[in-house]
Amino acid sequence: MIQFDKVSKRYPTGHEALNGLSLELDAGEMAFLIGHSGAGKSTLLKLIMLMERPTHGQLLVNGKNLNRLHRSQIPYYRRNIGVVFQNHQLLFDRSAFDNVALPLLVSGYQPREVGRRVRAALDKVGLLDKEKMNPIALSGGEQQRLGIARAVVHKPRILLADEPTGNLDPELSAEIMDLFRQFCEVGVTVLIATHDVDLISRMGMRQLQLQQGRLIQDGVPA
Amino acid sequence: MNRYRRGKPEKMMVSNSRGGKSAKEPRRGASGGRVSLLGKLRSYLQSHRHLFFSTVKRLASEPIQTLMTSLVVAIALGLPAVLYVGVVNLQQLGSRVETTTQITVFLKIDSSQKAIEQFQKNLISEADVDTVEYISRQQALEEFRILSGFGDVLDMLDENPLPPVFIVQPVAHFQRDLVASEVLVAKLKGMALVDDVQLDMKWMQRLQAMLVIGERFALSLGLALALGVLLIIGNTIRLAIESRRDEIVVVKLVGGTNAYVRRPFLYTGIWYGVIGGILAWVLVAVGVQWISGPVARLAELYQSLFELMGLGFFGLIVLLLIGASLGLIGAWLAVARHISSIEPK
Ligand SMILES: Nc1ncnc2c1ncn2[C@@H]1O[C@H](COP(=O)(O)OP(=O)(O)O)[C@@H](O)[C@H]1O
Ligand SMILES: [Mg+2]
Q: Is residue B7 part of a domain?
A: no
Nearest by CB to B7, from A91, A150, A206: name it. A206
ipTM of the complex: 0.92
pLDDT reported for residue A215: 94
Q: Which residues contact B269 (CB under 8 A, 6 or more apart)?
A: B233, B237, B327, B328, B329, B330, B331, B332, B334
Residue B264 has pLDDT above 60, yes or no: yes
Q: Is residue B149 part of a domain?
A: yes
Instruction: Pick the ligand that lies closest to the CA of residue A44.
Output: 1
B223 and B326 share a domain? Answer: yes
Q: Mean pLDDT, to the nearest integer, of B141-151? A: 77
pLDDT reported for residue B35: 63
Find the range with the poorest average confidence among A37-41, A82-86, B315-319: A82-86
Q: Distance, CA A33 to ligand 1 centroid (Å)?
A: 15
Pairwise CB contact (< 8 Å): A185 & B5:
no
Using DSSP's 3-state secondary structure scheme, residue A208 falls into: strand
Instruction: Pick the ligand that lies closest to the CA of residue A35.
Output: 1
pLDDT reported for residue B174: 67
Percent of chain A clearing pLDDT 70 (strictly above): 100
Tell the burial category of B246 from Cβ atoms under 10 Å away from its Cβ (0-12, 13-18, 19+): middle
Question: At B157, which CATH number?
Answer: 3.30.70.3040
Residue type, B313: F
Q: How far is A188 from chain B (nearest CA, A)?
A: 9
> β-strands A158-162, A189-193: how paired?
parallel
Q: Which CATH architecture has domain A1-80+156-222?
A: 3-Layer(aba) Sandwich (3.40)
Pairwise CB contact (< 8 Å): A75 & B256:
yes
B249 and B117 share a domain? Answer: no
Q: Higher confidence at residue B307 or residue A74?
A: A74
Residue B9 has pLDDT above 50, yes or no: no
Tell the burial category of B28 from Cβ atoms under 10 Å away from its Cβ (0-12, 13-18, 19+): middle
pLDDT reported for residue B11: 32
Helices (H), B126-202: 137-148, 151-156, 178-189
pLDDT reported for residue B300: 77
Residue A119 has pLDDT above 70, yes or no: yes
pLDDT reported for residue B270: 95
**What atom of ligand 1 comes closest to residue A213's alpha carbon?**
14
Partners of B257 on chain A (C-beta within 8 Å) are 72, 75-76, 106
For residue A2, which of A73, A80, A51, A62 has the smallest C-alpha distance?
A: A62
Work out the angle between the directed axes of helices B258-301 and B312-338 (0-180°, nearest 10). 150
Partners of A150 on chain B (C-beta within 8 Å) are 254
Residue type, B72: V
pLDDT reported for residue A69: 93
pLDDT reported for residue B178: 66
Q: Is residue B262 part of a domain?
A: yes
Residue B111 has pLDDT above 90, yes or no: no
B93 and B220 share a domain? Answer: yes
Tell whether A61 lies on the interface with B, counting CB pairs under 8 A. Answer: no
Longest dimension (CA), chain B: 135
B223 and B308 share a domain? Answer: yes
Tell the burial category of A136 from Cβ atoms under 10 Å away from its Cβ (0-12, 13-18, 19+): exposed
Q: Higher confidence at residue B5 or residue B257?
A: B257
Q: For the segment B38-78, what is each residue's pLDDT rounded down to a tens digit?
A: 877 877 787 788 888 888 888 988 899 899 999 999 999 99
d(CA A98, CA A80): 20
**Residue identifier of the C-alpha nearest atom 18 of ligand 1:** A42
- Give the residues surrounding ligand 1 with Cβ less than 6 Å away: A 11, 13, 15, 17, 35, 37-43
Q: pLDDT tier at B122 (50, 70, 90 boundaries)?
A: confident
Tell whether A161 lies on the interface with B, counting CB pairs under 8 A. Answer: no
Find the range with the poorest average confidence among A154-158, B21-25, B165-169, B332-336: B21-25
Q: For the segment B219-247, what is each residue's pLDDT rounded down to a tens digit?
A: 899 999 999 999 999 999 999 999 999 99
Q: Higher confidence at residue B162 or residue A60?
A: A60
Q: Higher confidence at residue B6 or residue A13?
A: A13
Q: Distance, CA B28 to ligand 1 centroid (Å)?
A: 35
pLDDT reported for residue A127: 95
pLDDT reported for residue A86: 77
Q: Count residue pairs from A and B with Cβ separation < 8 A.
A: 125
- Asked if B188 contacts B194 with a C-beta cutoff of 8 angstroms, the reply is yes
Residue B333 has pLDDT above 90, yes or no: yes
Q: Higher confidence at residue A51 or residue B124?
A: A51
B225 and B321 share a domain? Answer: yes
Q: Is residue B8 part of a domain?
A: no
pLDDT reported for residue B237: 95
pLDDT reported for residue B146: 78
| Cβ atoms within 10 Å, residue B106 | 16
pLDDT reported for residue A151: 95
Q: Higher confidence at residue B301 or residue A19?
A: A19
B247 and B326 share a domain? Answer: yes
Partners of B345 on chain A (C-beta within 8 Å) are 51
B54 and B159 share a domain? Answer: no
pLDDT reported for residue B32: 41
Q: What ranges make up the beta strands (E) of chain A?
A: 2-10, 16-25, 30-34, 56-61, 64-65, 81-85, 158-162, 189-193, 206-211, 214-221
B93 and B239 share a domain? Answer: yes
Q: Higher confidence at residue B246 or residue B16?
A: B246
> Could you list the residue range(s) of the whole structural domain that residue B288 is in?
49-97+205-338
Using DSSP's 3-state secondary structure scheme, residue A110 falls into: coil
Q: Is residue B227 part of a domain?
A: yes
Q: Mean pLDDT, to the nearest integer, of A157-169? A: 90
Q: State which residue of chain A sits closest to B247, comparing Cα positions.
A: A91
Percent of chain B clearing pLDDT 90 (strictly above): 31
For residue B260, which of A160, A82, A117, A104 has the smallest C-alpha distance?
A: A104
pLDDT reported for residue B14: 31
Q: pLDDT tier at B30 (50, 70, 90 boundaries)?
A: very low
Beta bridge partners of A191: A31, A160
pLDDT reported for residue A25: 94
Mean pLDDT estimate for chain A: 92
Q: Is residue B311 part of a domain?
A: yes
Pairwise CB contact (< 8 Å): B28 & A155:
yes
B157 and B218 share a domain? Answer: no
Domain tally, chain B: 2
Tell whether A83 lies on the interface with B, counting CB pairs under 8 A. Answer: yes
Pairwise CB contact (< 8 Å): B257 & A75:
yes
Q: Is residue B185 part of a domain?
A: yes
Q: Mean pLDDT, to the nearest integer, of B95-118? A: 80
Task: Give the domain ranges of chain A.
Answer: 1-80+156-222, 91-155
Q: pLDDT tier at A123 (50, 70, 90 boundaries)?
A: very high
B268 and B304 share a domain? Answer: yes
d(CA B284, CA B181): 38
Nearest by CB to B31, from A89, A102, A155: name it. A155
Tell whether A156 lies on the interface with B, counting CB pairs under 8 A. Answer: yes
pLDDT reported for residue B285: 92
For residue B32, which of A186, A59, A81 has the smallest C-alpha distance?
A: A81
B212 and B312 share a domain? Answer: yes
Reported pTM = 0.73
B261 and B315 share a domain? Answer: yes
Mean pLDDT estimate for chain B: 80
